[in-house]
Amino acid sequence: MSDLKDKVAIVTGASAGIGAAIVQKLLESGMKVVGLARRKAKVEELEKGYEGKLFAKETDVTKEEDIIDAFKWTEKNVGPVYVLVNNAGVAYVSSIDEADAEKLSVAGHYPAGISGLSIYTASKHGVTAFTESIRRELAESGNKIRITSLSPA
């Protein structure tokens, strides 16, 4: 993957789980990776002897101003974004009849098997649908940006 060396990637939800694993794989390929997460210190723990360079940026993806700031900071301090991995979801636990409508947001392919995770499932399905919509718009416009969605398991 030498064609990715020194290119810039942003990974949301980079502090744990799939997001952290993606960060590590991108670092292995030599990329400059900006890991966005509310827990910046957890992201910083991921850089251990990789060819690439890790930049941890505290970001809450439920706050528009944090997202805008993260992209501006990345472009100014690291470089233009070549890869974006939208991994973060909202882990807001509530039954749907008790949910705060302002916390409903962007989630997977199947309903959660655990009671109280309806918002989280919707969040993950929203990321998938949003990504597919953007992919189609870019393809139809003739834009050279390519986008895809991966669903582990």
Q: Which residues are catalytic?
A: 120
CA dihedral 36, 148, 6, 76 (to 10 degrees): -50
Whether 138 contacts 145, CB under 8 Å: yes
Whether 10 contacts 68, CB under 8 Å: no
Q: Which helix (H) or strand (E) holds 58?
A: strand 53-58
